[in-house]
Amino acid sequence: MKQGKPVKSAGSGKPAKAAAAAKSAKPAKAAAAAKSGKPAKPESHLAMVRRARRINRELAEIYPYAHPELDFRNPFELLVATVLSAQTTDLRVNQTTPALFAAYPTPEDMAAAVPEELEELIRPTGFFRAKAKSLIGLSASIRDNFGGEVPGRLADLVTLPGVGRKTANVVLGNAFGVPGITVDTHFGRLVRRWKWTEQEDPEKVEAEIAAIFPKSEWTMLSHRVVFHGRRICHARRPACGACPIAPLCPSYGEGETDPEKARKLLKYEMGGQPGQRLSPPPDYPGRPAPALGAG
């Protein structure tokens, strides 16, 4: 079994530098035109692609340490953690999985679990009965159909109970090095804010974004976009005034534009707070998250 490793970073992280860069950020041309009362010219598809690729390059500089925010040591652990992450935070999953993997380290072990005992271990992640059923089912399928090894193909992964394209792409990209775009709520929200797509269906979003970027960028693009959504471009109150890519954003102004107020909205390492992983990569610039019950 291949060992799952965090994606290599592009260099040392400088969250303070990213926040400082936002001080000089100006609204995107479209937002500026709207404020002045002048209609903005429609953006051509080619211009959108160029802007999208520039945003990706900017995000690579802002988050050179971007990585999967689930703790895992092998493909099975990543698969289980990703299934558990539905409708909860990666932090809560990371706080739950140490005890879970100590009790059930292999697919064979988890397939033989007593449902009520498994449910109790994963209770903190919510929807624990449905998740326990999926975990036992996928573990049994891995044991019976794939020789006890997590399969490394999309077509095989999506046959496992509780595993869809999003989960499969997470596992492929981060445990097997197979490029994939992970369309979670953060990713979908941001690519629509940036006008890369108008699609709502995750598979259609995945297809349209895949057409914009080379395949080699898909996995890291996913991490960068999700990092930005969790730290700066929040769902309810984006920190527009502290956003280093504000000049490239056609939705600038949907959130707080005052730089000082916006900086107070920054989360995780950007806001000087602990991250989501208990065991982050060595180059992560923030503080590890606390264990369950430690704060």
Options 71, 90, 131, 184, the catalytic residue = 184
Write the CB contacts of 79 (distance below 8 Å, at least 6 apart in sequence). 138, 150, 157, 160, 163, 167, 171, 175
23 is catalytic: no
Options 38, 166, 195, 283, the catalytic residue = 166
In 3D space, the residue among 8, 4, 3 whose CA is nearest the CA of residue 284 turns out to be 8
The torsion defined by the Cα of 78, 83, 88 and 90, in degrees rounded to 10, comes to 10
The distance of Cα 69 from the centroid of its chain, to the nearest Å, equals: 7
Cα 15 from Cα 10, distance rounded (Å): 14
- Contact criterion met (CB below 8 Å) for 219 and 68: no
HSE-CB of 80 using CA atoms within 13 angstroms: 34
166 is catalytic: yes
Q: Can you list the alpha helix ranges (DSSP code H) found in the chain? A: 15-21, 29-36, 45-62, 75-84, 90-103, 107-111, 115-122, 128-145, 154-157, 165-175, 185-193, 202-210, 218-231, 259-263
In degrees, to the nearest 5, what angle opens at C-alpha 238 toward C-alphas 237 and 241? Answer: 120
Residues with a catalytic annotation lie at 166, 184
